[in-house]
Structure 1
Amino acid sequence: MTTSTPPLREAARAIVLDADLRVLLLRYDENGGFWATPGGSLEEGEDHATATLRELREELGIDQAMVELGVQLAERSKDHLVGGREVRQVERYFLARVSPGDVNPERATQPDNIREYRWWTQGELRSTAETVYPQGLTDLIAAVAEGRTPNRPIVLAG
């Protein structure tokens, strides 16, 4: 029996932190509902950093001049459905510093299926019963808060 590998879908995501080290997450209703970091697939000829800034503008109306884009903190690989088709999504997560006042969903050009956005404290992330992606996000934010950014991107679980 042979199994085929789903087609690769490269994606860039942002771990958006404000000055108080709160993280910005987006809520989606599909698959029982979940919260996730902003981001999406790369466009033709685009690198991951450029895609991260574009996705912040498209999903949250954040002007790229207002984003302090940092290092790649992590990566994750996950097979899932996109538009009814199974893909193997490989995501790179970049640190992004933003002021809450620079988030303006009314300027978003592609809000996709985002139901709401919310700034979360580390305590709220640790205590929530809601599904949050990626797994390991809370520990990654704690490391950044302590000044321990990884030398190389860490690999996050599905």
Structure 2
Amino acid sequence: MTPPTPPLREAARAMLLRYDEEGGFWATPGGSLEDGEDHAKATLRELREELGIDDNAVELGEQIAERSKDHLVGGRQVRRVEKYFLTRVSAADVDPARASQPDNIREHRWWTVSDLRVATETVYPIGLADLVKAAVEGRTPALPVMLD
């Protein structure tokens, strides 16, 4: 018997590496969409809430990747669909003191492509280094890349 498909939980994420969450891995900032939001608006809100970045400081580009994964949220199984956007901000615009919902963020860091390739820590999503390298070289995909 096939288990039922979990309810859908859509999320938006920026293509910025910024924080170490829950002590075990690095991830991109982002999170669930709120009622009435599209993915782009959710990305801007999440950057503001998690890193104190003002919307006007963000150059939000196109969606370049997507990932779908079953995940526990509040003890309930959901299918998370994340859309990743190429995003540019200045280091000076990151101000965690202005973050209204920093979650479990312990640290933020700027990464180079080389840093990503040799990182010994876990970095999500898998394949991020290749996406960032392509973006830095001006090679953005015609359609979003599907990530594992």
Give me the TM-score of the superposition, normalised by structure 1. 0.91
Give the residue type in structure 2 aligned to 1:61: G
1 CA distance for matches of 2:77 and 2:110?
Answer: 31
Q: Aligned to 2:108, what secondary structure does the other structure show? A: strand
Tell me whether 1:26 sits opposite 2:5 in the alignment: no
Partner of 1:8: 8
For residues 57-99 of structure 1, the C-alpha deviation after alignment (integer angstroms, 9 at most, x for no partner) is 0000000000000000100001111122111100000011000
Structure 1 unpaired stretches of 5+: 17-23
Structure 1 or 2: more strand by fraction: 1
Would you identify which runs of 4 or more consecutive aligned residues in structure 1 move more than 4 Å?
none
Partner of 1:81: 72
Tell me whether 1:51 sits opposite 2:42 in the alignment: yes
Partner of 1:156: 147
The verdict on how the C-alpha distance between 1:155 and 1:2 changes in structure 2, with shifts beyond 3 A counting, is closer
Question: How big is the alpha-carbon RMSD for the aligned residues of Structure 1 and Structure 2?
Answer: 1.0
1 CA distance for matches of 2:142 and 2:2?
Answer: 38
2 CA distance for matches of 1:84 and 1:120?
Answer: 32
By how many angstroms is 1:10 displaced?
A: 0.3
Number of residue pairs the alignment of both structures matches: 148
Aligned to 2:59, which of 68, 77, 81? 68
Partner of 1:137: 128
Kindly report which structure 2 residues correspond to 1:102-113, keeping only aligned pairs within 5 A, or say none.
102-113=93-104
Give the residue type in structure 2 aligned to 1:78: K
1 CA distance for matches of 2:82 and 2:102?
Answer: 19
Give the residue type in structure 1 aligned to 2:78: V
By how many angstroms is 1:50 displaced?
A: 0.4
Deviates more, 1:115-124 or 1:131-140: 115-124
Give the residue type in structure 2 aligned to 1:107: R
Tell me whether 1:96 sits opposite 2:97 in the alignment: no
Give me the TM-score of the superposition, normalised by structure 2. 0.97
Quote the sequence identity (%): 70
